[in-house]
Amino acid sequence: MDSTVDVLSITAQQAFAIRKANFPNNITFHAPGLKHFSIDGFEQINKKAFLPISITGSGCALNCDHCDSHILDPMIPLNAKEGLYKMCKNFL
């Protein structure tokens, strides 16, 4: 049997068992730096803790009515010539 077929035949229970065997039960949430907010137990203090990077610059093919691409405005545009890895390394 082809390994692709084997992977597709895994049930949700089997997939969850594999996840449980390989990863902890913790879920880590990241707070985007686009908007300041705080809740009980968390306040975003360091604005550079999560830098929003847009790989499309200010362009968005979806152009949804609720956003009209404005969510991209405060994002740092990726310089395609520099590449994402080098850009992130320069932030350190």
Tokens of 34: 């686009």
| Amino acid at residue number 49 | A
Residue 12 has pLDDT above 80, yes or no: yes
Average pLDDT over residues 8-12: 77
| Amino acid at residue number 76 | I
Q: Which DSSP state fits 31? A: -
pLDDT in tens, 67-90: 888 888 888 999 989 999 999 898
pLDDT in tens, 27-56: 776 656 666 667 787 777 777 777 888 989
Tokens of 83: 């590449």
**Residue range of the domain that includes 30:** 3-91
Number of domains forming the structure of the chain: 1
